[in-house]
């Protein structure tokens, strides 16, 4: 075995990196430099240690440096080896037992023992310095690699996102659905009951009425486009404001009823009705104002916003305005153990039979119910804001957000709820209006969307809950949604909304 600490004939050691000679340890030749494991003696202690390395297979200096010995530990070990006749083979076992650390082994076991004068700390300090320098260099290198790795991850995420959005725009745009693929959607809006529900929703309808009727100056002498006009109620409001022209578009057969309603109210000459899908119609003009009640559950359910953004990009004048012009999507935690028992725990015992598999069906679907404000047990987190005048189609097709909510009281959290707010608050409007579907506001026909938890859990007042939510189109049915919810980086649930 070769020693890691080489010596020359003069018992000196050199720093190879600098070329400077390190002063050799003081060797009094009246002292004895005798091997630790055999009776052979040497001119100096350094040669003795070289002999131990080559003959007995123990690099004693490296051994002591590795164990970070100071001069006292070094002396005790040498005296212990000599006093107890420890063999080279048993050196590691001797170290482990720690008997050699007793202070009585500070007394020399061999008179005039030159090995005790060897300055082991010189080597320890030098090695430590080298390790520190190496560690610093490794840290610098690691930092560079980590920074580069972060750049690569960012580039990869951008590529993945771009690829996703390319796919989204080419395959998940409802504007590209043909009549056969989209017939069910438009047929569903032909029945009177859905329009009864919407018109009976006073919060919803009066918000639009206020935004239109209380901003008469904005509408006077303007061209207005009403997308998805239904019974034509928004066009009827606009017709009272001395607009220049009003074009009302709907592909559903309900548009024939809208014509009858306009005629019944003496406004048919002020509103031009066009039946068909907006993207397929040939509109020969652009508009100052585009109004539409396009919002679905979870804000973007059914994807009607695609058509509104298409109209914005193709038919809105440069200084035109969308109504509403802005919206937000919000999330909060809920504690409703009665609902949890009714819909989830119910399946544990159904007339004496277990039907646990049915629980999964409940967990898979987004519920739609009015949630009492008293059951909302966290503060609110806004997971998305859309400026409808500027947002891209991409932003509406995939919504992703981390969120953090604080618990307002001690309870069991059973679900999260999501709702939206819409704003008529453009600078062009003298009278601002907010349409809220919050549980803290009067209920609307949209109610709130409920994401039930598979495992309810206890929370404390002021406890912080972290989570992440993704909302994306279902490629198999692009007017429906898939929602993924993660709570505290533990529970992960996927819901569908169809």
Give the separation between CA 1 and CA 36, rounded to whole angstroms. 16
Q: Is 424 helix (H, G, I), strand (E, B) or coil?
A: strand
Question: Is 302 tagged catalytic?
Answer: yes
* Dihedral sign computed on CA atoms, order 336, 338, 344, 345: positive
In the DSSP assignment, the letter for residue 102 is S
403 in Cβ contact with 383 (< 8 Å): yes
Does the active-site annotation cover 293?
Answer: yes
Beta bridge partners of 334: 376, 415
Quick one: which of 14, 15, 57, 7 has its CA closest to 33? 7
Q: Where are the beta strands (DSSP E) in 146-299?
A: 223-227, 245-250, 271-275, 287-292
Cβ atoms of residues 79 and 106 within 8 Å: yes
Residue of 111, 293, 337, 491 with catalytic role = 293
The residue annotated as part of the active site, out of 302, 385, 404, 442, is: 302
What element of type H or E holds 314?
helix 304-315
Cβ atoms 432, 423 nearer than 8 A: yes
Tokens 């005629």 belong to residue:
263
- E strand or H helix that includes residue 64: helix 60-66
Pairing of strands 41-42, 223-227: unpaired
**Catalytic (active-site) positions:** 293, 302
């Amino acid at each position: 075995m070769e020693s890691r600490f080489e010596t020359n004939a003069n018992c000196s050691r050199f720093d190879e990196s600098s070329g400077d000679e390190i002063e050799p340890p003081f060797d009094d030749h009246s002292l004895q430099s005798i091997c630790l494991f055999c009776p052979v003696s040497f001119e100096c202690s350094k040669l003795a240690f070289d002999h131990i390395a080559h003959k007995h297979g123990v690099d004693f200096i490296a051994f002591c440096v590795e164990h970070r010995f100071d001069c006292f530990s070094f002396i005790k070990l040498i005296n212990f080896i000599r006093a107890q006749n420890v063999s080279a083979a048993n050196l590691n076992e001797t170290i482990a037992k720690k008997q050699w650390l007793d202070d009585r082994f500070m007394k020399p076991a061999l008179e005039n023992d030159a090995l005790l004068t060897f300055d082991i700390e010189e080597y320890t300090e030098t090695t430590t310095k080298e390790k520190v320098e190496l560690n610093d260099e490794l840290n610098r290198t690691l930092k560079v690699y980590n920074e580069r790795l972060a750049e690569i991850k960012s580039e990869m995420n951008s590529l993945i996102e771009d690829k996703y959005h390319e796919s989204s725009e080419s395959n998940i745009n409802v504007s590209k659905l043909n009549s056969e693929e989209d017939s069910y959607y438009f047929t569903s809006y032909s029945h009177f009951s859905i329009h009864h529900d919407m018109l009976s929703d006073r919060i919803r309808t009066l918000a639009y009425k206020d935004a239109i009727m209380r901003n008469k100056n904005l509408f006077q002498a303007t061209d207005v486009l009403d997308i998805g006009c239904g019974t034509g109620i928004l066009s009827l409001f606009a017709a009272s404001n001395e607009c220049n022209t009003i074009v009302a578009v709907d592909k559903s057969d309900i548009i024939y009823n809208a014509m009858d309603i306009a005629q019944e109210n003496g406004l048919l000459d002020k509103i031009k009705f066009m039946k068909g899908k907006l993207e397929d119609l040939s509109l020969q003009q652009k508009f100052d104002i585009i109004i539409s009640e396009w919002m679905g559950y979870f804000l973007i359910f059914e994807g009607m916003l695609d058509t509104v953004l298409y109209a914005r990009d193709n038919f809105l004048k440069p200084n035109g305005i969308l109504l509403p012009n802005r919206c937000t999507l919000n999330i909060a935690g809920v504690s409703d153990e009665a609902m949890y028992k009714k819909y989830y725990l119910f399946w544990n015992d159904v007339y004496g039979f277990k039907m646990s598999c049915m629980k999964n069906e409940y967990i898979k679907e987004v519920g739609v119910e009015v949630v009492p404000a008293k059951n909302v047990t966290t503060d609110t987190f806004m997971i998305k804001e859309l400026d409808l005048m500027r947002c891209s189609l991409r932003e509406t097709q995939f919504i992703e957000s981390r969120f953090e909510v604080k618990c307002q009281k001690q309870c069991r959290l059973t679900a999260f709820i999501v709702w939206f707010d819409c704003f008529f608050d453009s600078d062009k409007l003298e009278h601002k209006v907010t349409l809220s579907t919050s549980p803290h506001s009067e209920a609307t026909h949209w109610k709130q969307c409920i994401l039930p938890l598979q495992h309810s859990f206890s929370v404390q007042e002021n406890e912080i809950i972290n989570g992440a939510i993704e909302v994306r189109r279902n490629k198999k049915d692009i007017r429906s949604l898939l929602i993924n919810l993660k709570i505290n980086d533990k529970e992960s649930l996927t819901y569908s909304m169809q």
